[in-house]
Chains A and B, each alone.
Chain A
Amino acid sequence: MIVLDGVGMTYRADSGTVEALRDIAFTVDRGELVTLVGPSGCGKSTLLRIIAGLRPASAGRTVVDGRPVTRPIAAVGMVFQAPVLLKWRRIVDNVLLPAELAGLNPDDYRARAGELLRLVGLGDFGDKLPRELSGGMQQRAALCRALLLDPPLLLMDEPFGALDAMTRDELNLELLRVWGEGSQRRKTVLFVTHSIAEAVFLADRVVVMTPRPGRVASVVPVRLPRPRTTATRASADFGALTLQIHDVLSRPA
């Protein structure tokens, strides 16, 4: 689904040229959930924007769904660190925004929007304004917005990073449910985080990145059984994987 080959990114700043990404190469298969973990400043978010076609890379090849990325790709759902809901719209109308932006008739998607909101426990909140919801609920609504047009690919940029630990754990489970952990029709997900535990808990594979310039240090397969539960976090395998990634990150470059 996603193929990155030698992707690099340099940009000019006041202090001279800055190399943000160097020689990034990995793939994400269809239906796979890959997490991208690394310290802040390693270019994770930039990489996500390159894949979405929102920013051109300065080197290498980016291919999504068999096509080289040269402009914003349409069949993608995006979730950001902040919910960025439109403050003046009710939750359900926020969820419908992608349909409007894409030039579709939002009325055709009302039923689906309601269904998505019910799925994440916001069934009774469609008529509320964003400010009437907690941060976690707003982020759930943002997830529904990303899923509205049923995109095959989800790009998530530290979506739960600003939430408290309990809400974050809860939303991790919810994401896995929405992703279709038990079903065959899974979406492809690339999920950026700076939490090692979150990266391991969600992933089929974890791409570990090191900073300045951002490089792939290691790709760690996660063979923990699915569906994952709260008990997964307590297993020995989970602990071992977390430690392994921690070691990769603290290794001197």
Chain B
Amino acid sequence: MKVRALQRHAPSLLLFAALLAIWQLVPPLLNVREYLVPGPTAVVRAALSSSIPWHTHLWVTTIEILGGFALAGAAGVALGVAIAWSPTIARALVPFLVFVNTLPKVAVAPLFLLWLGYGIVPNVLIAALIGFFPVVINTAVGLTQVDDELLDLGRAFGAPAWKVFAKIRLPNALPYVLSALKITATAAVVGAIVGEFVASQAGLGTVIVNAQTNLNTPVAFAALLWISIIGLALYGAVGLAARWWAPWADTT
């Protein structure tokens, strides 16, 4: 079993190792300076260095990402339910949501900071704003893509609407919601970092901005490494949740 898993992942692991080797060995040969392209060992050294309070930045960014993710998920599901529940609400809400979604969130970020001040809250909101739309759409679709015959069964047995909702529509929507949450997971990372780029006193995005002004490129790369670790962990967690809660659906 373990051998087979190793065989399956061997191509990607080999490629990864090869890229790392090229990254480490080629720039010095071409006389590329470390402040332009630091090698992997320099990046890892920076990522573990105690000269940067990594755990504080990690903590801030993780909270922003998780907060944005949770807010996007909760608001997205609530709006999706409302849209699926009433055609009138759908007609009122959908054009507005489409409008909000087409706004470039990066351009809205400075306004959020203006209104809410520096700190975690505006960055959570930006992360949520970038990630909520797919959840709305997928929730609404999952709730309405139900076989008519099943709804007929509900009517034939005189089941009240809430019961059809709870027993048929909601479980039907679950795989849709979970696959939207995978998109939200990556979008929330982008949102949090964008917020930190615009203005922030802590967080991995702030580290990158400061490293850039000091030409401390290994630290910028190290921050990138930490961001990708958070992003991968969240994405992986949502994937596991999908497999656990919706094993009947083939989400990959």
Contact = CB atoms under 8 A, between A and B. Distances in A.
Nearest to B171: A88
Contacts of B157: 74, 98, 101-102
A82 B156 contact: no
Interface band, chain B: 20 to 34
Contact of B149 (A84, A98, A103): A84
Given A72-B158, A102-B158, A86 B152 contact: no
Interface in B126-170: 147, 149-150, 152-159, 163-164, 167-168
SS of A interface (majority)? loop
Interface band, chain A: 20 to 34
B74 interface: no
B247 to A, nearest CB: 8
Contacts of A87: 172, 248-249
A54 B152 CA distance: 7
A100 B153 contact: no
B121 interface: no
A76 B172 CA distance: 25
B153 A78 contact: yes
A54 B156 contact: yes
A238 interface: no
Contact of A74 (B158, B163, B249): B158
Contacts of B152: 49, 52, 54, 78
Given A80-B149, A101-B163, A129-B248, A86 B171 contact: yes
Nearest to A77: B156
Interface string A126-164: 000111000000000000000000000000000000000
Interface in A60-101: 72-74, 76, 78, 80, 82, 84, 86-88, 97-98, 100-101
Contacts of A53: 156
A54 B155 contact: yes
Nearest to B250: A131
Given A87-B248, A97-B167, A101-B159, A82 B147 contact: yes
A131 to B, nearest CB: 6
Interface in B222-252: 246-249
A181 B167 CA distance: 35
Nearest to B166: A100
Contacts of B249: 87
B156 A74 contact: yes
B174 interface: yes
A84 B150 contact: yes
A87 B145 CA distance: 13
Given A97-B167, A131-B248, A86 B150 contact: yes
B149 A101 contact: no
Nearest to A131: B248
Most chain A beta-carbon contacts within 10 A, residue among B150, B153, B155, B249: B153
Nearest to A155: B156
A91 B249 CA distance: 16
Contacts of A52: 152, 156
Contact of B156 (A76, A84, A86, A130): A76
Nearest to B159: A101
Contacts of A72: 155-156, 158
A78 B148 CA distance: 13
Given A72-B155, A100-B167, 17 more contacts: A49-B152, A74-B156, A74-B157, A78-B149, A78-B153, A82-B149, A86-B167, A86-B171, A87-B172, A88-B171, A97-B153, A100-B163, A101-B153, A101-B164, A102-B157, A103-B158, A131-B248
Which are the 4 A-B pairs with shortest beta-carbon distances?
Answer: A101-B157, A101-B159, A102-B157, A84-B149
Interface of B: 147, 149-150, 152-159, 163-164, 167-168, 171-172, 174, 246-249
26 contacts: A52-B152, A52-B156, A53-B156, A72-B158, A74-B157, A74-B158, A76-B156, A78-B152, A84-B147, A84-B150, A86-B167, A86-B168, A86-B171, A87-B249, A88-B174, A88-B246, A88-B248, A97-B167, A101-B153, A101-B157, A101-B159, A101-B163, A101-B164, A102-B158, A103-B159, A103-B163
